[in-house]
């Protein structure tokens, strides 16, 4: 009911008058019964009041007045009722609400004849019945509906101004080049400009999450927020990233969106380039050191791998073949060391693997598997080749710096390489 009053106060007022007509009509009939009116008078009053009420209901539902001829029939019926009832109290109350309803509905050209008609009917009807009404009753019949009419004009003007401002605001928002969505307090989308629908597609098909993956309803964002980063999955499967700013209004929330999909993609590529080897796609030395910091003081192992015979393949088949070989070796090392390991390229033909939460036994097992992965030929576009690998390992833990652990693994690797050369 509150929503109806807020959306259309005039219609709500007319509905209130209809309810009052039923209530006052019932009271009037009760008064007629108490005055010992005859059964025919009661029946006539009930029929006329019911007919008048139905006419007002028809006007309410149609949103338009009945034809003028119907007004004449209504006045004649009320005159007949006055002649039979012969008591003012059961009649005057319903007449006031009939006129009030017309004041809240009709034009002045229809209201004034209706007022004059009812005053005339009451004057003639009650005079014929020998009943004299107070002059104030007739004055009230004139002034009350006119006041209602004046209030309706003021209200309509205020509504017109409010609607004009709303249309102006909607036009401004719809023409904005950046996406804007306006929602009501109950989450209904009041407006979504063209830029917004082009960005998100139909809002009813959108799935949105915060940066941490928590689901969020785009239509129920908390007002007063700034820089909310959201990941939006459109109905067609396309994913966009946006920054959302929300502004509280009297009737809901304005949500301004900024498409940062390309910017975040560029930032991701920059970050990837800063921490990964451009040839193999493996983490580089910078990312390896970050993973050392993440490992903390927990037990971990480091493997250093240096290829044997890489220069000969580079010289024989060319640098493109050498680059291809490094990529194939990177794939093998990733597969052997497992998903929890960080396999990095330190430069040239030297690789490192950080194995978190690893004791000596597992480190030895992984190092042996790395050595075995060089037992098979490596297919290249120039043909299959064989390359060896020297592996050194060291354990890290509390009190040991990454530099010290790497130096120990490096020494073990070169010791293995020199032992192979001496043989």
Tens digits of residue pLDDT in 237-284: 898 999 999 988 777 888 889 889 888 888 888 988 999 999 999 999
Q: Print pLDDT tens along the chain (423 aa).
A: 455 445 567 677 777 777 777 777 677 667 666 665 566 766 777 777 778 778 878 877 877 777 888 888 888 887 777 777 767 766 777 788 788 878 888 788 888 888 898 888 888 877 776 777 788 888 888 888 888 888 888 877 777 776 676 676 667 666 777 888 888 888 788 788 888 888 888 888 889 998 888 898 888 888 888 889 999 898 888 989 999 999 887 778 888 898 898 888 888 889 889 999 999 999 999 999 999 988 877 799 999 999 998 989 988 889 899 999 999 999 999 999 999 999 999 999 999 999 999 999 999 999 999 999 999 999 999 899 999 999 999 999 888 888 999 999 999 999 998 886 555
What's the CATH code, domain 176-260?
A: 3.30.450
- Domain covering 276-422, topology: Alpha-Beta Plaits (3.30.70)
Angle 138-141-147 from CA coordinates, rounded to 5°: 135
Rg from Cα positions in the chain: 44
CA-based nearest residue to 251, from 154, 132, 169: 169
Question: What are the residue ranges spanned by the domains of the chain?
Answer: 2-158, 176-260, 276-422
Residue 423 to residue 420: CA distance in whole angstroms: 5
CA angle 69/72/78 to nearest 5° reads 145
Contact 232/207 with Cβ under 8 angstroms?
yes
């Amino acid at each position: 009911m509150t929503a109806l009053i807020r959306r259309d106060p005039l219609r709500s007022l007319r509905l209130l008058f209809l309810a009052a007509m039923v209530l006052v009509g019932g009271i009037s009939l009760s008064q007629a019964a108490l005055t010992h009116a005859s059964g025919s008078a009661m029946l006539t009053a009930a029929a006329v009041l019911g007919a008048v009420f139905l006419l007002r209901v028809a006007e309410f539902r149609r949103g338009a007045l009945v034809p003028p001829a119907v007004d004449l029939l209504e006045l004649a019926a009320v005159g007949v009722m006055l002649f039979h009832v012969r008591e003012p109290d059961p009649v005057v109350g319903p007449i006031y609400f009939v006129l009030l309803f017309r004041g809240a509905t009709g034009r002045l050209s229809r209201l004034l004849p209706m007022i004059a008609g009812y005053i005339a009917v009451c004057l003639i009807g009650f005079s014929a019945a020998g009943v004299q009404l107070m002059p104030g009753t007739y004055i009230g019949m004139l002034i009350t509906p006119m006041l209602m009419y004046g209030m309706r004009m003021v209200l309509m003007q205020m509504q017109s101004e409010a609607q004009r401002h709303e249309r102006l605001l909607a036009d401004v928002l719809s023409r904005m080049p950046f996406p804007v969505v306006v929602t009501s307090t109950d989450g209904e989308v009041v407006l979504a400009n063209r830029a917004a629908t082009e960005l998100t597609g139909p809002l009813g098909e959108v799935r949105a999450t915060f940066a941490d993956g928590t689901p969020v309803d785009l239509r129920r964002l908390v007002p007063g927020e700034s820089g909310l980063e959201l990941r939006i999955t459109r109905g067609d499967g396309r994913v966009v990233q946006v920054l959302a700013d929300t502004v509280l209004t009297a009737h809901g929330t304005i949500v301004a969106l900024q498409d940062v999909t390309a910017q975040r993609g560029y930032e991701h590529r920059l970050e990837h380039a800063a921490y990964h080897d451009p040839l193999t796609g493996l983490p580089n030395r910078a990312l390896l050191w970050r993973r050392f910091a993440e490992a903390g003081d927990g037990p971990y192992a480091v493997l250093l791998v240096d290829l044997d015979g890489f220069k000969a393949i580079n010289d024989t088949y060319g640098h493109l073949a050498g680059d291809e070989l490094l990529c194939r070796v990177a794939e093998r090392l990733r597969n052997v060391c497992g998903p929890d390991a960080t396999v990095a390229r330190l430069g040239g033909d030297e690789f490192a693997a950080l194995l978190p939460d690893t004791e000596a036994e597992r480190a030895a097992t992984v190092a042996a598997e790395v050595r075995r992965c060089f037992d098979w030929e490596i297919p290249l576009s120039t043909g299959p080749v064989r390359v060896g690998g020297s592996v050194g390992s060291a354990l890290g833990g509390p009190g040991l710096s990454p530099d010290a652990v790497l130096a120990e693994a490096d020494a073990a690797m070169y010791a293995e390489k020199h032992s192979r050369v001496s043989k």
